[in-house]
Amino acid sequence: MSSSEIDRSVPQAGQSWLEKHFEVNRTMYEAALRAVGIPRGARVLDAGCGPGSYLPWIADLVGPDGSITAIDCDADHVAVAGRMASRLPCTLSARVGSVAELPFAAGEFDVVWLANTSVYFADDELAAVLAGLRRVVRSGGIIAIKDPDADLYRVRPLDPAIFAHYWETCARGGDKPFAKLVRGILRAGELRRVLEHAGLIDVRQRSFMQELWAPLRPVEREWVMEFLTYYRDTAEEFGVPAADLAFWRTMTPAGYASPDHIINHPDFYYREGNTLAVGVVP
């Protein structure tokens, strides 16, 4: 599989989207990374690094005796990540490449961090990716996968069935890039089993959540509106039940400005969650 493995028509792969999402979910993301157990002095591969948002935290964990290699199939992401090298306490090497065709020697790393990336692969593709990750991690080293988990998403006071219908409908969208992504997000709750089936040992799994409560901060409101607007567009594209469309069609600038819109409800609540699975290479 080549660097075209992640379809850039999916907004979740774009730099602006990633950076905004990271800012809103910073607390959740840092907690997930620190739960991996990355040791001081480790050689870490950030596989699918995006624009490098995790790199400062990884550098803090490994310290000056550690090193980070960052790889991503998007050259723009790699350029942004590479510019962090002078600001980190450890060595950083950033390069363009595919997580499915890792250009590294066997046992070259102590830890692999694969964040928000495995969702882009179908089950058989992910099995091949994990085989490659096992090859480049030494015996006793760690592979950690973190992905958004559809089971943890909630919007209140919205009827939870509307989200359930949304995920189900989009997941059945055949070969469309977003349908494939949704199937990956729906798989997140099974990551422990995925790592076990890949032959890893001492596998553990834990979920993390980011909760937003009314009244929202400006950056939170902007983020939620952007996210719900994308849900609206995909709900229309994939054909969610007609009874749900009335809700999704309120996701417009005029709708958000209405005092009666759900985002302006005094009890508004938005939650998204990530699931982390960590295993050891035998």
When pLDDT is cut at 50, 70 and 90, the band that residue 24 belongs to is confident
Quote the pLDDT of residue 272: 93
**What tens digit of pLDDT does each residue of 216-252 get?**
999 899 989 999 999 999 999 999 999 999 999 999 9
**What tens digit of pLDDT does each residue of 106-148 get?**
999 999 999 999 999 999 999 999 999 999 999 999 999 999 9
When pLDDT is cut at 50, 70 and 90, the band that residue 23 belongs to is confident
**What tens digit of pLDDT does each residue of 70-113 get?**
999 999 999 999 999 999 999 999 999 999 999 999 999 999 99
**The amino acid at 90:** C
How many other C-beta atoms lie within 10 A of the C-beta of residue 220? 17
**What is the total count of domains within the chain?**
1
Is 25 inside any structural domain?
yes
**What tens digit of pLDDT does each residue of 180-212 get?**
999 999 999 999 999 999 999 999 999 999 999
Domain range for 140 is 3-148+186-209+274-280
Is 181 inside any structural domain?
no
Tokens of 86: 């002078």
Position 261 pLDDT exceeds 80 = yes
Is 100 inside any structural domain?
yes
Q: Which of 279, 280, 223 is nearest to 256 (CA)?
A: 223
Is 82 inside any structural domain?
yes
Answer for the pair 177, 7: CB distance below 8 angstroms, yes or no: yes
Quote the pLDDT of residue 21: 78
Q: Which of 129, 137, 139, 146 is nearest to 45 (CA)?
A: 137
Is 77 inside any structural domain?
yes
- Give the domain CATH number at 11: 3.40.50.150
Position 60 pLDDT exceeds 80 = yes
Is 258 inside any structural domain?
no
Q: Which residue in this structure is represented by tokens 């993301």? A: 29
